[in-house]
Structure 1
Amino acid sequence: MNQASGRLSSVRRDWRERDVRVLIAALVVAVATVATIALFASHLQRTLVSSASAFLAADRQLESENGQPIPQAWRDKATERGLEVARMVEFSTMVYGNDNFQLVAVKAVSEGYPLRGEIEYQASADSPREMRSAGPGHGDVWLNPRLLRLLDVTIGDSIEVGNLELTVSGLLIREPDGGFSMSALAPKIMMNAADVAATGVLQVGSRVEYVNLFAGEEAALDDFYAEVKPDFSPSHEWKSVDDGEALSGSLQRARRFLLLGGSLAVLLASVAVAVAARQYAVGQRDTVALLKTLGVRGQRIGRLYLSRLMIWGVAGTLAGVVIALPAFWGLASLTARLLERPVDYSIDWFALTPALVTALVSMMAFAYPPLQRLRSVPAMRVLRSEPGESGTGIVRDGLIALIAIFGLIWLYAGELGLVLSLLGGLAALLAVLALLGWAMVLLLRRVVGGGNAWRLALVGLYRHRKASLSQIAVFSMTLMLAATLLLIRSSLLDDWQAQLPDDAPNHFLINIAPDAVDDVEQFLAKNDLAKEAIYPMVRGRLTELNNEPVKQAVSKDREVRALNRELNLTWMNSLPADNTIVSGEWFEPGQTEGVSIESQLADRMGVKVGDVLGFTIGSQKIEQPVTSIRTVQWDSMRPNFYLAFPEGGGLTGLPATWITSFYLGEDQKLLLNDFTREFPTVSVLEVDHIIDRIREIVVQVTQAIEAILIMILAAAVVVMAAVVSATLQDRQREGALLRTLGGRQSLLVRSTMLEFALLGFFAGLLGVVAAEVAVWALQYRMFQGEFQWHFRIVATLPLISAAVLSVFGYWQLQPVLKVSPMLLLRRLE
């Protein structure tokens, strides 16, 4: 009972210690920040994946392009594993209605379609749009609204699809999986899959695509895929959300933004705990020395502080989680309100793992080492002043902290490029700090004291040069992390948003015949429709790599879906504005040899500049060396290609069609009917729904980054408060002496605020420059963007940092200003 009450009184005494409160506050902020980010990132990931899965109308799709239906046995196996299953049949045919013929793309769907998402439907042209979770029934058909005018029919009329007469029962506005597919022709109709056989349209050799849809748990989907994959033919393709270039690029970028924000939070949380723990350990050295004079051994002292650390850790972790839950709910509510969606408050408790690991590692790797070294404090420290810690211990603590930081970010982010960029920026910052410290000692040692506030401030910097350098180091790291996220918000996200302006292309024109190119351009110009560049397109397969069959040359461990289908090849003179060369050189004027390959495809295949690629186009084979590797922004909604040849190069003489994209407002949709009548063989592909979804992702990620920035700034304030208090006693003693010798309060205030303002200015300048270096590395390595200096932030952040730290300096002076100098000196002795 006495032991328990003794521990309770010890905990109460600890709580009265200012350093303990700062340490626990740092841990609370650390856990709350990381937990909130992890919970919200998990929530956002679920939202994005759920939202993106609607683009497949399922979690996975299995396509068969050989004209043969997918075996029923495979669907039975999926059902046995608890998966939901639906079917689709897609083909093109002519339909007849009211003495008019029209080529259409048919999507025939089974019961249960869609498994994910909903169909946007109108009962009539004047009815409000509604969302439906099932397709047409037997004998019914839904038409694209443009077909009403093209066929001159109304709701309730009949149209003929082959041998079958179907009733027009509604309008198909948008289906969830109407993705960016070159085979998707407009306009489209939707019918029931059970009616397809009665049409008699599909015969042996018909161009038809059979699709099976699957939805369920990830583990069951993976197990089903592993079971049926050995029976796949080359025409079978297993598709997930990540396989669509435009959408998967946005999802990948969203994940990286969240990982970056979370990694910065982890790093800053570690700094906060380390600074607070070291401060507490320094303040406990006299207490440990006194305990040793009373016969307490070092091992018992170590156990004592370890038990205290565990109590603080549990309290800080619980408090951090308690704060994180309402913060997460607030962010989830804000996101749901912005996107006009119902709020999902479900919590993924496994998402708290990073926060718990951060708390454990922070306490053991950052907080425990300086406390553990208290065992070596000599008892003679009670009688005479001795440092109580060795440089060897500090070096060891630094190595432990570096390994722990690397491990935490690696665990959280899982991307080596991210870890190296952040740690590289910190290494550069510390190197500059070492030079700055050497220069500061040389310059400030020549300054002599006096009654001037500036002189006192400079003398104070030199007198506390070790503390000043450590404060600049921590302030710089803190400001670097906050500035990195601020620059990410103001630069990378703005660049991402700028890729999809309000007038971003939302319609593609495909299969433009060479002799119709000029007429199509004239039609678009006449109707004031701004188009992107128009490109030729040749369909071909990539079959060889360095004179070896490509599927043998590429490692079996790499699954390259582009090798299982025909690719869109083109030729072009100039590099598109949203493409960037990462290796090699673009085609010179007049060059006829070579091919440029997209960077991700090159990485998956292991292709480098100088390799020779072989293509099969119809009955012809061509070979060309790789002369450049380039990045492609698939989510820019412009025509983009995996492979590009120079004009007059390897594709010369091969039959080609042309492709372009343009923006069409919602009120201009009827122009598509006029275009279709004038160019009946040109396919119109509407992709405005993809643009809407990508913009939705950008909004979600922007809100997440802004919320993370606010929390990181809060953590930065805690770190600064902890570091500023490190020299509290020394500064209070000096201030009391200055007042005892007749110094005015105003002089003391001005000199101390100037001293901290100088610290803040130098720290802000170093931090923002290091942040620019980190953003430069991240922008090139992770986000493939063009770097620009942010001069406005570089100029303003050091001034803001100086102002904030001068306020902290004034706050530190309050005990000096409010208490009698003699009373303060007696208290400090």
Structure 2
Amino acid sequence: MTAAKKLMSVRRDWRERDVRVVLAALIIAVATVATIALFASQLQRTLVSSASSFLAADRQLEAEDGRPVPEPWIAEAVKRGLETGRMVEFSTMVLGNDAFQLVSVKAVSNEYPLRGELEIQGDSEGSREQIKHGPARGEIWINPRLLKLLKIGLGDTLEVGNRNLTVSGLLLREPDGGFSLAALAPRVMMHADDVASTGVVQEGSRVEYVYLFAGKEAALDDYYKWLQPQLGPSQEWKGVRDGETLSRSLDRSESFLLLGGSLAVLLAAVAVAVASRQYALSQRDTVALLKTLGLGSAGIGQLYLKRLALWGVTGMVGGFVVALPLFWLLTLLLGEALGRPVAFQLDSSALTPALLTAVVSLFAFAYPPIRRLKNVPAMRVLRSQPGETGREAWPDMLIALVAVFGLIWLYAGELSLVVSLLGGLALLLALLAFLGWILVAMLRKVRGGGHAWRLALVGLYRHRRASLSQIAVFAMTLMLATTLILVRTSLLDDWQAQLPDDAPNHFLINIAPDAVDDVAGFWKERGQPLDQLYPMVRGRLTELNGQPVKEVVSKDQRVGALNRELNLTWMDSLPADNAIVDGRWFEAGQKDGVSVEAELAGKLGLALGDKLTFTIGSDKVTEAVTSIRTVQWDSMKPNFYMAFPPAGGLTDMPATWITSFYLPRDRKNALNEFSRRFPTVSVLEIDNIIERIQEIVRQVTQAIEAILVLILAAALVVMAAVVSATLQDRQREGALLRTLGGRQSLLVRSTVLEFALLGGFAGVLGVAAAEVAVWALQFRMFEGAFSWHWQVVLPIPVISALILALFGRWQLSPVLSVSPMLLLRRLE
């Protein structure tokens, strides 16, 4: 063929409705996956950037042995292009206006913070100010509560050891105001260069040196590889994901984004497969004519392979043209949701899933039905026979299944997610096979007539194969969309329920045993009753089954819990936010055993019956593991790695008590009265952490809403493609009914009812399969409790029936607007 004829062939091909459907499906598939991938990448950068402020850097290096790290370590970081800073943290008594107060001191260098901002007030009545530096030398910033505790004001001096520092600001929020039970409140901040002159930090002092690092991820990872062999047992390298509270929030957000992207991949594959199969069926006469003109099977295969390649390029380009403005719009909406501008950054690597989706969708779903046309004898095709059998399609179905599995696994990287989704689809298809057989058996007895209901039921039976295939595709599409809706509802509800507006924002630490009742009574009198108080004993895990635990655990498995003292407790009942995953909880009167947190148990390779030895001061306590339990670290309540029975091995050990509670901002003054009455009890304020995690929840909520809209749009395209697959046959039947005297109103009512029945039946099946998939995802992937979602799923079959009824009415437009004879001649 000449270039001109090829161009005319392509133009003529693209004027065909089926080709436009394939291209539309491919463009929307690429646009959906590309938009989700780009936005997910943008959101993850925003989340990690926001989360990095928890550390005031991208990474921290903590030295808990009271000694600074070697200078060559910092020099090497600078050499690798990393930004660095340092902090010194310790507790001491300060003197102001003849009053003493125990405070937690954070001394920072000029570079602090590398990430995030501090919030201060220049005076007690002034406005809040966000800044990116700490106090200057000779100055100190203090917690507002210290003004009343020490009866001082801004501009006064505060004595820290041998040094008088000027109070120049009120410290309202620090970016890395981390959640550490070792921290004491109230906090003061000074310059790191002033620490030496105070004389507070001496050899053997309880002090922690913290070094800050920021830079590109690759540089940080390379530096850690260089640093790791040199780290001692008291030195720990930390990232934003190493804290239980924040890492759980980030992991959940990533899991949901991966789920949304995986559903987009599945819907893309379905849309392309349905549209391309219909195109292949419409090409039978063309293939027959080409064969009669002497074109061989190999030539036909090459011809359509070139067309597929051209469609692929068109779909990719068109998809990206649609995706980029959508991505830009979502980035603007994200900035509005966060209340600050978000830098628009295009991650080219995020486009890879879209490219793979287009390629795999074309050659695993679109090419097989077209490829089979070349094997059909010309005479069979000319007689309008399908030219294929179910047995010939089995290899293609196997290829499609492997392609879907590979695409989702490659995109999500979560085997449990892939198994859950495909398991739900398998269950749905099995249920369809059974219910479809029942439906066909029931409809066989229905006879035609002049009623719309009868014509609708007869139409379902007459097109039973098409009806069952349509129900299957509709149900699968609805299952995928419903799964996302349900997981979104359950995930966000559960997540936000753990951080309600009245989530605990204060911890009381170091409560003496004889003061427990008085502390509880103090807050009860002020309308803030304490929920639960827990005893706390500090001890190290030193032996596992009689051997030193650090020798038993692989050195490659760095377990921070082995390098510090753990908070041990005893409990008479399992907390509501804990769940036993192995073993059983302590029975009444039980005196032996220990319950271990599940993640730590996994790192240590613990099993029921293993004996753990704890060193508490000069004493040792050995107990067997009797249960393993999960802990919700982001509940903002006291949580413990190890729990003993009330009459167990910790009973005779010296203990202090701990609790958490919610205190509104307008009642913060009660903390001053509490501190004066209970000066030895430490108050830890964690409002900043609550606000940050709630911000992450808001960010993920925006992403979920955007992804949900895209997935539902893709689902509508799939449904439109499937409905269009029977357009020609239904138009022919409609024209025949009109020729035989059928009224337009009867034709409209019967077709609308037929599609409404298809949609309602598919909706019920899709909802049932979605509930199964959500159960698997909620229980296995998101580690949440499953509950039925009747209030959400009940409207879905009705909505599905309405949408398909509208699609059915749309199909009738040519029948009602064109003369029946003209339509029949065109279709023939």
CA positional deviation for 1:391: 2.0
**In structure 2, the residue corresponding to 1:206 is in which secondary structure?**
coil
CA distance in 1, matches of 2:274, 2:123: 67
Q: Who is 1:684 aligned against?
A: 683
Pair 1:579-2:542 in alignment: no
The structure-2 alpha-carbon separation of the partners of 1:394 and 1:199, relative to structure 1 and needing over 3 Å to count, comes to: same
Structure 1 stretch displaced more, 558-567 or 782-791: 558-567
Equivalence map 1:59-78=2 (5 Å): 59-78=58-77
Pair 1:373-2:372 in alignment: yes
Equivalence map 1:450-489=2 (5 Å): 450-489=449-488
**In structure 2, the residue corresponding to 1:21 is in which secondary structure?**
helix
Equivalence map 1:331-370=2 (5 Å): 331-370=330-369
Q: Who is 1:599 aligned against?
A: 598
**In structure 2, the residue corresponding to 1:242 is in which secondary structure?**
coil
Q: Would you say the 8 A contact 1:506–1:661 is kept in 2?
A: yes
Pair 1:229-2:253 in alignment: no
Q: Who is 1:559 aligned against?
A: 558
Over residues 170-198 of structure 1, what are the superposed CA-to-partner deviations in whole Å (9 max), with x where a residue is unaligned? 12111111100111110111111111111
Q: Who is 1:590 aligned against?
A: 589
Q: Would you say the 8 A contact 1:58–1:215 is kept in 2?
A: yes
Over residues 294-323 of structure 1, what are the superposed CA-to-partner deviations in whole Å (9 max), with x where a residue is unaligned? 100111111111111111111111111111
CA distance in 1, matches of 2:355, 2:28: 13
CA distance in 2, matches of 1:664, 1:97: 27
Q: Who is 2:284 aligned against?
A: 285
CA distance in 2, matches of 1:49, 1:532: 33
Q: Who is 2:34 aligned against?
A: 35
Q: Who is 1:206 aligned against?
A: 205
Q: Who is 1:168 aligned against?
A: 167
**In structure 1, the residue corresponding to 2:262 is in which secondary structure?**
helix
CA distance in 2, matches of 1:552, 1:27: 56
Q: Would you say the 8 A contact 1:277–1:370 is kept in 2?
A: yes
One-letter amino acid matched to 1:285: R
CA positional deviation for 1:612: 2.7
Equivalence map 1:356-755=2 (5 Å): 356-755=355-754
Over residues 461-484 of structure 1, what are the superposed CA-to-partner deviations in whole Å (9 max), with x where a residue is unaligned? 111111111101100110001101
One-letter amino acid matched to 2:103: V
One-letter amino acid matched to 1:649: G
Pair 1:91-2:90 in alignment: yes
CA distance in 2, matches of 1:642, 1:195: 38
**In structure 2, the residue corresponding to 1:249 is in which secondary structure?**
helix
**In structure 1, the residue corresponding to 2:794 is in which secondary structure?**
helix
Over residues 28-84 of structure 1, what are the superposed CA-to-partner deviations in whole Å (9 max), with x where a residue is unaligned? 111111111111111110111011111111111111111111111110111111111
CA distance in 1, matches of 2:474, 2:29: 17
CA distance in 2, matches of 1:552, 1:393: 60
Q: Would you say the 8 A contact 2:477–2:715 is kept in 1?
A: yes
Q: Who is 1:106 aligned against?
A: 105
Equivalence map 1:21-32=2 (5 Å): 21-32=20-31
Q: Would you say the 8 A contact 1:95–1:160 is kept in 2?
A: yes
The structure-2 alpha-carbon separation of the partners of 1:17 and 1:383, relative to structure 1 and needing over 3 Å to count, comes to: closer
CA distance in 1, matches of 2:484, 2:211: 43
Pair 1:256-2:264 in alignment: no
> What fraction of aligned residue pairs are identical, expressed as a percent?
71
CA positional deviation for 1:383: 4.2
**In structure 2, the residue corresponding to 1:774 is in which secondary structure?**
helix
CA positional deviation for 1:23: 0.8
**In structure 1, the residue corresponding to 2:104 is in which secondary structure?**
strand
One-letter amino acid matched to 1:366: F
- Greater than 6 Å deviation, 4+ residue runs: none
One-letter amino acid matched to 1:343: V
Q: Would you say the 8 A contact 1:286–1:381 is kept in 2?
A: no
CA distance in 1, matches of 2:559, 2:464: 58
One-letter amino acid matched to 1:133: K
Q: Would you say the 8 A contact 1:37–1:708 is kept in 2?
A: yes
Q: Who is 2:153 aligned against?
A: 154
CA distance in 1, matches of 2:287, 2:2: 20
CA distance in 2, matches of 1:369, 1:53: 48
**In structure 2, the residue corresponding to 1:366 is in which secondary structure?**
helix
**In structure 1, the residue corresponding to 2:726 is in which secondary structure?**
helix
Q: Who is 1:327 aligned against?
A: 326
CA distance in 1, matches of 2:548, 2:405: 42
CA positional deviation for 1:520: 0.6
CA positional deviation for 1:510: 0.8
Number of matched pairs: 828
One-letter amino acid matched to 1:744: R
CA distance in 1, matches of 2:147, 2:225: 45
CA distance in 1, matches of 2:603, 2:368: 44
The structure-2 alpha-carbon separation of the partners of 1:59 and 1:343, relative to structure 1 and needing over 3 Å to count, comes to: closer
Q: Would you say the 8 A contact 2:109–2:193 is kept in 1?
A: yes
TM, length-normalised to structure 2? 0.98
TM, length-normalised to structure 1? 0.98
Structure 1 stretch displaced more, 148-157 or 701-710: 148-157
**In structure 2, the residue corresponding to 1:112 is in which secondary structure?**
coil
One-letter amino acid matched to 2:322: I
CA positional deviation for 1:136: 1.4
CA distance in 2, matches of 1:398, 1:581: 42
CA positional deviation for 1:560: 2.0
CA distance in 2, matches of 1:411, 1:515: 58
CA distance in 2, matches of 1:424, 1:164: 68
CA distance in 2, matches of 1:557, 1:736: 74
The structure-2 alpha-carbon separation of the partners of 1:102 and 1:793, relative to structure 1 and needing over 3 Å to count, comes to: closer
CA positional deviation for 1:809: 1.1
Pair 1:193-2:192 in alignment: yes
Structure 1 stretch displaced more, 562-571 or 614-623: 614-623
CA positional deviation for 1:557: 4.0
Q: Who is 1:274 aligned against?
A: 273
**In structure 2, the residue corresponding to 1:436 is in which secondary structure?**
helix
CA positional deviation for 1:154: 1.5
Q: Would you say the 8 A contact 1:530–1:663 is kept in 2?
A: no
Q: Who is 1:120 aligned against?
A: 119
The structure-2 alpha-carbon separation of the partners of 1:382 and 1:683, relative to structure 1 and needing over 3 Å to count, comes to: closer
**In structure 1, the residue corresponding to 2:364 is in which secondary structure?**
helix
Over residues 265-312 of structure 1, what are the superposed CA-to-partner deviations in whole Å (9 max), with x where a residue is unaligned? 111111111111111111111211111011001111111111111111
One-letter amino acid matched to 2:512: A
The structure-2 alpha-carbon separation of the partners of 1:20 and 1:344, relative to structure 1 and needing over 3 Å to count, comes to: same
CA distance in 2, matches of 1:188, 1:723: 64
Q: Would you say the 8 A contact 2:285–2:382 is kept in 1?
A: no
One-letter amino acid matched to 2:457: L
One-letter amino acid matched to 2:648: G
CA positional deviation for 1:615: 1.9
Q: Which runs of 5+ in 2 are unaligned?
A: none
CA distance in 1, matches of 2:416, 2:562: 28
CA distance in 2, matches of 1:309, 1:323: 20
CA distance in 1, matches of 2:784, 2:404: 27
Structure 1 stretch displaced more, 357-366 or 548-557: 548-557
Coordinate RMSD, CA, aligned: 1.4
One-letter amino acid matched to 2:635: S
Over residues 596-646 of structure 1, what are the superposed CA-to-partner deviations in whole Å (9 max), with x where a residue is unaligned? 222222222222333332222222222222222222111111111122112
CA distance in 1, matches of 2:206, 2:651: 28
The structure-2 alpha-carbon separation of the partners of 1:299 and 1:167, relative to structure 1 and needing over 3 Å to count, comes to: same
One-letter amino acid matched to 1:4: A
One-letter amino acid matched to 2:35: T
Q: Would you say the 8 A contact 2:284–2:384 is kept in 1?
A: no
Structure 1 stretch displaced more, 375-384 or 19-28: 375-384
Q: Would you say the 8 A contact 1:274–1:366 is kept in 2?
A: yes
Q: Would you say the 8 A contact 2:104–2:188 is kept in 1?
A: yes
CA positional deviation for 1:741: 2.0
